[in-house]
Amino acid sequence: MKKLMALMAFTLAMAGGQAMAHESPAKHGGIVKSAGDMSFELVNKDGQTTIYVDDHGKEVAMAGGSGTLTVLKGTEKSEAPLTAGSGNTLVAKTGDKVTAGTKVVAAIVFPDKSTMSVRFSIK
């Protein structure tokens, strides 16, 4: 009986962990991270970093949004302003700073002035 109860507890714990993780797959070829109920996809291409913002699979309009993108590589730190792009995007000009081995922290200010931070590790 104890083994059965332990197995049931383990199964429920594993199922609960699966339900909690709600990072959606990348739609734009980037890295997806979740914070709160939101999903953020970071895409770095041609010297520009774009962050796509979704709430449960629905695009969040970012017109009027802003923020700061901080790129950390070892002891080096650089920052770039995030500005509203089209639709659900925020964009920053990062040049060649976002490369393998860097960590990127996006401090996002939504159009309603609420804030959120998201951390990405570039592999």
- Is residue 76 within 8 Å of residue 96, measured between CB atoms? no
Give 36's contacts (C-beta < 8 A, 6+ positions apart). Answer: 116
pTM here is 0.79
Fold of 24-121: Immunoglobulin-like (2.60.40)
Is the predicted pLDDT of residue 101 greater than 80, yes or no?
yes
pLDDT tens readout for residues 13-24 = 544 444 444 556
Is pLDDT of 40 > 90?
A: yes
